[in-house]
Structures are given as structure tokens and as C-alpha cells.
Amino acid sequence: MTLNITLSATLAANEEIARRRRAGQRVLNLAFGEAGLPVHPALRERLADASRENGYGPVAGAAGLREAAAGYWDRRDLPTDPELVVCGPGSKPLLYALLLAIGGDIVLPMPSWVSYAAQADLVGVRPIMVPTPPGEGGTPDPDRVVGAVLHARAQGRTVSSLLVTLPDNPTGRLATPDTVRRLVQVARDLDLVIISDEIYRDLVHDPEAAFLSPADIAPERTIVTSGLSKSLALGGWRIGVARLTSVPLRDRLLAIASEIWSSAAAPVQHAAAYAYTEPPEIVERVDASRRLHGIVARAVADRFARAGAAVSYPHGGFYLYPDLAPLRRFATSGELTSALLDGHGVGVLPGSVFGDTPGNLRVRVATSLLYGEGEEQRTATLTSDEPLDLPWVAASLGHLEEALAMFTEKRRFAAWIPSPLTPVTQ
Amino acid sequence: MTLNITLSATLAANEEIARRRRAGQRVLNLAFGEAGLPVHPALRERLADASRENGYGPVAGAAGLREAAAGYWDRRDLPTDPELVVCGPGSKPLLYALLLAIGGDIVLPMPSWVSYAAQADLVGVRPIMVPTPPGEGGTPDPDRVVGAVLHARAQGRTVSSLLVTLPDNPTGRLATPDTVRRLVQVARDLDLVIISDEIYRDLVHDPEAAFLSPADIAPERTIVTSGLSKSLALGGWRIGVARLTSVPLRDRLLAIASEIWSSAAAPVQHAAAYAYTEPPEIVERVDASRRLHGIVARAVADRFARAGAAVSYPHGGFYLYPDLAPLRRFATSGELTSALLDGHGVGVLPGSVFGDTPGNLRVRVATSLLYGEGEEQRTATLTSDEPLDLPWVAASLGHLEEALAMFTEKRRFAAWIPSPLTPVTQ
């Protein structure tokens, strides 16, 4: 067994940016998918209320949490048996354990979140990267899945599952209902389990947008994963939930979970149970967060578009995935993002870490760390009618505009001026 | 890949006992290794104080927690660089990720904690089970390790590591310094990494007992894992720490951690940082817990000894591992524990789940759930001068005595009375 694994690209970028900031550099963190908003006070209270809870509790999660999560899905027209809900310390470990529980190779969209393919490597299954349909994100192109799976199977590989992200990280795009329907048909034809990562579901910017989960039309083969890291900014609390399809699969998942992590932190489970009942104050918080993420993500997309990048505007979450090839040429997206970071103090991630072809100069831009530093600024941003006008948001957008202008400008001189060790923008 | 895995035996037993209790059965839970004591109020306060912390934070854990954990080891004469400390959501996931990070097969003591071998299966490495030295627990017999490893290597297997548990679960025994020294020499000769699971270290009953960690004499090859689940009863909070030997190994561990769990819950990390600074109130709490665990574990050992079982008295933690063969014959320890549970309402675990030979009628008895139900009783037990005289503790010990007497009594009639479906003791 050889493991060729490095620190998760998103977490590594965040730590690198934190290091540079401690060293006094001014760096705009557009690399890390942390929701960048405060904990709702009601959840803080629930955590404190549960500070006596120190038992390991059931591996699947406390009954109250499983019932609340089932209710959450019920309200989204996915009737759910609490017995088929499994909680864990984040949706990331649940996805990891699902790969082990299901076994066999997995079809992933290209590009897709950095950890899917890395987790597959860790458990020793091979990801089959299938490009997303043109202009879409989060699903492998249904027309290309069949060929890829049949090819892999002809080579003797076992292909068991495919994964979708609705709406998507890194592209911020939401697959159309038509694409989801066609993909479900392909999954049925090929007898594939579908893992639908819906952790950004409540952050689709337009609440009227059509959202179709594969679980709506193929509940027998669709596992849904979610969590509170994004919609309620609880990334650091580590809580996720999975909606399973059957008791045997649940039992396999629980067996694996029991040997890797035992359970999610009990006080966090208690707070999460409250959140999943969706009382008005929590619904309002998610609504406000969704609105803010949409405004800022679009504003950042505007900056990239105005600078000349090709941008598909995001539908949900706090990401966009512009193509910077029109701005300036580099051999790879990794070289491009290094130049942006070292030369202009702008941290974004190269598309290559999401499985994109390195020569494609696409980058993932996370916009959720533009809301300010500390709880006071972030609360002000969340509650502002005009968040883009707040000085700290405006300053970051200004930094970005300036950086993109300088970055693009270099193109004209690149032929005759040797590239210096550019100092970080002051 | 085929995974033949079931729910962790300890967690499964705990859930089964909880089910029976909900159904109105009276069952003494001697199966589950939960510390059975309340959270110290100072830790509850620290958790609540940190309820604003929702960032993912560094994969290795917050700097304050790593520094505090380093201090904890410094005070135990193991000088520790905070940069080589990695925190996780429990020592269980750290152990799992270490198996992946180190690679290769691992030598385990037989018997040993249920999850070591199960985790090895999950990551696809083969455990080499080596019996503990006669009368000892927690270390493979040094004299037998050499042969087992050379045999495995002769078959082409890569053997990279060996594991010790100091003091031990399931036996409650602490390996002697002489055994540790001999084992370290063997590890050096065979070039094996040592993983020393010291999660029960602060619960060695006799504070004057000689405790030798392999890290004391072979720091270059010994990884130490620990956590707060046992000494401070924080099992349900999920926090563990590992003391690594080198930057490359740490980086591999962090890479794996970043793809499986990201980080431990941030508010829990904050409380754990406080605990690892070992302020007087926390030291007192651990002292009181250690004393109580010792008193009750010895009292339970007395009951088994008086009933005629062969018992090695425990040195630490809250476990003992009596041999019940003198009491009554069964084909396997699993049949024996089923009979004890179904017929006498006493839940213990068969030695077989710890890797022991099924025909050995040894069982693991966990004594830490005898302290009462709820915070009030448990606090009273913790602070009592005579905990065995408290009515709830005395009642449980009485239940055990009676059950063991009846269980033993059956032996005399077993030849001529067919075993009925015995109702649970009322």
C-alpha cells in the first residue's frame, strides 16, 4: 500500500494564508470554504445547556437529532425514517465511511470538491472522473457516464456509485432538474448507488429555484449527505448527517463509524438537534445567510467578469469558478494561483486540485471570508441591507479589483520584463 | 475488497443493554468502558466560553491545545514539541489514521482493545496477535514477538509497528518496566514503530507504581496516544491527542486527518486545552476519579474471586479480566456471556472480542458504570469516603454477587436439568 496524500488543498491553503498573515502580509483569503458567519446565539445556548452530556451515546447519533434531521428532510418532501439517519462529526467522515461501506469505484464529477477523490485514494477505490455538462457543475455529464463506467467494467473494475454535489463546490452551479433526471436514469441502467452531497442545499441563492434531488426520483438508490457547516456556519463544530437507503447499508456504515469515530461530540449533537427542528430564528438566520452569500458571490463574480475572466454566475453557496485564461497565460492553474498569491496577495485555489485539467486556467474562488474579521463585523455584514458598502467588504473587493487589474496588466509586459519577486500588495 | 465488520463490540453491547433496560429489564452494565462520572464544572464553563468558536481551525488542533498537551507530557518527563502534537476527535480516529499513515502490518497484544484489530481490517493491514506475557496485559510477550514477526516477514509481509496499552484494556494490568524494556529492545532489533496507547495512564490506581512508557527509552520510535475520555470522563466530547516522532510522519497523519475528519470540535478543543494545563481543580478531579475507579474495580474483582473465578487484580483504569472457567463450563466465552446476560442480567464482554481464544472463558468486566445514574448520584459516589456503602453501588454489587452465585450454582444441575429460557433476575 502506498499512500500519496497531502493535506487537503482547502485546509492547506487556509493554513498557508494564516501563516502569511501572521507574518504581516496582507492576503485576501478567497481560498477557504468556511462560512465566515457567527454562530447563532440560540445554538450557543443549546451547546452550553448540553455541557453535562459526556456519554458516548449511540453511534448513529442521539435519537432526538436523528428525528430532527428526519423532520428536516420530511419538510423538503423527502419522507425520512429516523432509523435510517446516521450522524457523524461532519459530513466529510460520513462520506469517507460511505465509500468504505459501499465499496467499489466511484464516478465523480470533474471538477469536484477536493476530498472526494482523496478519500477514494485513502480507502483504495479508484475515482472515475467524468466532466460536468458544459456550463453546469456538480454532476458528471450523464452522456459520458455510461461510456466511462462500461469502459471501467470492461477492464474488470467494480463500479458501484456516483456522486453529485447539489449545489456545487467548486463551481457554485446547481444542476438542472433535467440533468438530474438523466443522471438518475443512467444510474438505474448501470445499477449505481447515488451519493447526493446536499450540504449547500439551503444556500441556493434563489429560494424559488427548482431543486431536484436524485432522492426525489430514485429514493431506493440515493444516499443524501448534509450538515450544518455551511448553512449555519458550524464547520468547526463538526456535525453532519446522512440519509441512508436501507438497514443493511446503515448497519455497515455504523460498523465502520464505530471503529473510526464512535460518535459526534454530544453537546454539538444537542445543538444540532435544535437546529434541525428549524425554529423561526434558525430559518431566519439561514435566509439571511443565503441572501448575503448570494450578494457577495455575485459581486465577486462581477469583479472577475469585469476584469475579463469567463465566469458562470453561481447559483448557490459561496463559490465561483472563473476561467482566467483571458486574463493572463500560465502553463497550469497552479502556477497562476501561486502568482496571484505571491504577487497580489489573493489566495484562490487552482482548478487542478478539484480534478480539473491543470492546463485549464480555472480557479475556485470562495467568497465567504469577505464578511469581516470577528463576530461584530460579521454580524454587521449579515444584517446589513447593503453589505457591499460596508468598509471592510468594500476594501476587500477593492483589493481584488486592483489585484486583478495588475495581474492582467502584466500580460502586456510579460514579453520583455523578466518576472521579479513581486512584493505583496500593501 | 470485502469488509467483514460489525459494530464495535463495546458500543454494540452498550446499545443492547440500553435496549433491554428500556424494555424494563434489570441489567447490570459491566460491558461498556464509559468513565461513568460527571464533567468537571470548569470544563463545562470552558466549553460554553468557546461556543463562539466555529472555524475549522488547524487540522493538528489549536495551538493552545497542542501547547497544553505538550506541557502535559513535559510534566511526565517526556519533553514534547507542540509541533509534533496532533489532536483529533478522540484517540480512536488518531489510532485509525496512524495505521494508515504508518502502513504495513501491526503486532497487537492478545487480548487487546476491540478496535485495534478492527481498524487494521478496515485499513487493509493484518494484525499479528501475540499473547501477553503470563499474568500481564497490554503488551505482546517480547519473547514471542520476534518469532511472529520473522515468520510474517518470511511470508513476504511488511510488519511496521507494534502496539501497547499502558495500563491495559481489557485486563486492567500495567506492564512491568522490565517487560517494556525488553519489548523496546525487540522493537529496535526488528525496526518496528511502537504505538503506546496511554489513555488510562492517569488512572493507574497506585500513584507510586512504576510507570515506564516506551517513549521514555525509545522516543525516536514511540508514538504516544491519549485523550480525556477516561481520566476526565469526556468520552462523549470526542477529544484525543497524539505525540508524534517526526515531522514527516506528522505530515502524513495530518494529510489523512484532513481528508477524514478535518479537526476536533472547536469548543471541545478549547476546554481540552484548559484540562491539559492541569490546574489544581482538574488534578484533584483526576485524583478522586483514580481513587474511586481503584476501589470499585478491586471490589468487583473481590466478588469474582469469592465466586471462584481466577482474577488478576487490576492496576489501573476500570476493567478486570477474570477467567470464569472454574465457575461453569461453556464451549466459548461468547456463550458464557450470553448466559450471564440472558439468565442473570449481567452484561460483560467475552474475551473473544478482544482477540482471546474463544474457548478461554475469560470475560472483560467494566466497573465504571456502577457509580450510579445521573449527575447527582455519580457526584456523590465520586466524593464519598466509602463509595461501596452507597445504596446504589451496594445494590449493584449485590446484584453481581447474587448473579455469580446463581450462575455458579447451575453447574451442579447442568448435567440433568435442560437449560430453560431463564427470565431476567428481578
Q: Which of A57, A90, A118 sits opposite B236 (nearest CB)?
A: A57
Amino acid identity, position A288:
A
Cα of B407 to nearest chain A Cα, Å: 30
The answer to whether residue A248 is domain-embedded is yes
Same domain, B139 and B231: yes
A235 contact residues in B (CB cutoff 8 A): 54-56, 262
Specify the pTM. 0.94
Note the pLDDT tens digit of each residue in B390-403: 999 999 999 999 99
**Which pLDDT belongs to residue A86?**
98
Q: Which of B51, B259, B266 sits opposite A119 (nearest CB)?
A: B259
Same domain, B136 and B285: no
The answer to whether residue A3 is domain-embedded is no
Residue A119's CB: how many other CB atoms inside 10 A? 25
The answer to whether residue A37 is domain-embedded is no
**Which pLDDT belongs to residue A3?**
55
Number of domains making up chain B: 2
Q: What is the mean pLDDT of residues B362-377?
A: 95
Same domain, A28 and A167: no
**Which pLDDT belongs to residue A249?**
97
Note the pLDDT tens digit of each residue in B229-255: 999 999 999 999 999 999 999 999 999
| Boundary of a domain, candidates B242, B257, B278 | B278
**Which pLDDT belongs to residue B395?**
96
Find the CATH number of the domain harbouring B119.
3.40.640.10
Q: How far is CA A78 from CA A42, A75, A176, B3, in A?
A: 27, 7, 19, 30
pLDDT 10s digit of each residue in chain A, 426 long?
Answer: 445 677 888 888 888 898 999 999 999 999 998 999 999 999 999 999 999 999 999 999 999 999 999 999 999 999 999 999 999 999 999 999 999 999 999 999 999 999 999 999 999 999 999 999 988 999 999 999 999 999 999 999 999 999 999 999 999 999 999 999 999 999 999 999 999 999 999 999 998 999 999 999 999 999 999 999 999 999 999 999 999 999 999 999 999 999 999 999 999 999 999 999 999 999 999 999 999 999 999 999 999 999 999 999 999 999 999 999 999 999 999 999 999 999 999 999 999 999 999 999 999 999 999 999 999 999 999 999 999 999 999 999 999 999 999 999 876 555 444 444 444 333
**Which pLDDT belongs to residue B96?**
98
Percent of chain B with pLDDT over 70: 95
Radius of gyration of chain B (CA): 21
**Which pLDDT belongs to residue A11?**
83
SS3 track for chain B: CCCCCCCCHHHHHHHHHHHHHHCCCCCEECCCCCCCCCCCHHHHHHHHHCCCCCCCCCCCCCHHHHHHHHHHHHCCCCCCCHHHEEEECCHHHHHHHHHHHHCCEEEEEECCCHHHHHHHHHHCCCEEEEECCCCCCCCCCHHHHHHHHHHHHHCCCCEEEEEEECCCCCCCCCCCHHHHHHHHHHHHHHCCEEEEECCCHHHECCCCCCCCCHHHHCCCCEEEEEECCCCCCCHHHCCEEEECCCHHHHHHHHHHHHHHCCCCCHHHHHHHHHHHCCCHHHHHHHHHHHHHHHHHHHHHHHHHHHHCCECCCCCECCEECCECCCCCCCCCHHHHHHHHHHHHCEECEEHHHHCCCCCCCEEEEECCCCCCCHHHHHHHHHHCCCHHHCHHHHHHHHHHHHHHHHHHHHHHHCCCCCCCCCCCCC
Q: Is the confidence metric ipTM above 0.90 for this complex?
A: yes
Residue B1 has pLDDT above 50, yes or no: no
**Which pLDDT belongs to residue B411?**
65
The answer to whether residue A425 is domain-embedded is no
The answer to whether residue A419 is domain-embedded is no
Among the ranges given (A380-384, B97-101, B178-182, B413-417), the one the predictor scored with the smallest mean pLDDT: B413-417
Same domain, B265 and B288: no
**Which pLDDT belongs to residue B135?**
87
Note the pLDDT tens digit of each residue in B135-154: 899 999 999 999 999 999 99
The answer to whether residue B377 is domain-embedded is yes
Same domain, B355 and B381: yes
Same domain, B298 and B272: no
Note the pLDDT tens digit of each residue in B316-366: 999 999 999 999 999 999 999 999 999 999 999 999 999 999 999 999 999
Q: Which of B56, B236, B256 sits opposite A266 (nearest CB)?
A: B236
Same domain, A234 and A350: no
Gap between the Cα atoms of A416 and B113, Å rounded: 67
Show the domain range for B330.
Answer: 9-32+281-413
B90 contact residues in A (CB cutoff 8 A): 261-262
Interface test with A, best of B43, B51, B106, B114 (most A CBs within 10 A): B51
Label residue B90 by pLDDT band (50, 70, 90): very high
Q: Which of A51, A234, A256 sits opposite B48 (nearest CB)?
A: A51
Nearest Cα residue in chain A from B10: A258
Label residue B180 by pLDDT band (50, 70, 90): very high
Cα of B109 to nearest chain A Cα, Å: 18
| Boundary of a domain, candidates A257, A278, A299 | A278
Same domain, B259 and B304: no
Note the pLDDT tens digit of each residue in A353-370: 999 999 999 999 999 999
Same domain, B209 and B352: no
Q: What is the mean pLDDT of residues B61-68?
A: 98
Interface test with B, best of A34, A39, A51, A121 (most B CBs within 10 A): A51
**Which pLDDT belongs to residue B417?**
45
Contact A7, B59 (CB under 8 A): yes
Residue B426 has pLDDT above 50, yes or no: no
The answer to whether residue A179 is domain-embedded is yes
| Residue predicted with more confidence, B410 or B126 | B126
Same domain, A78 and A132: yes
Cα of A233 to nearest chain B Cα, Å: 7
The answer to whether residue A424 is domain-embedded is no
Note the pLDDT tens digit of each residue in A185-221: 999 999 999 999 999 999 999 989 999 999 999 999 9
Same domain, A82 and A179: yes
Find the CATH number of the domain harbouring B374.
3.90.1150.10
Same domain, B165 and B140: yes
User: Whose CA is closest to B172, among B69, B48, B58, B317?
Assistant: B317
Label residue B413 by pLDDT band (50, 70, 90): low
Residue B307 has pLDDT above 70, yes or no: yes
| Boundary of a domain, candidates B278, B304, B320 | B278
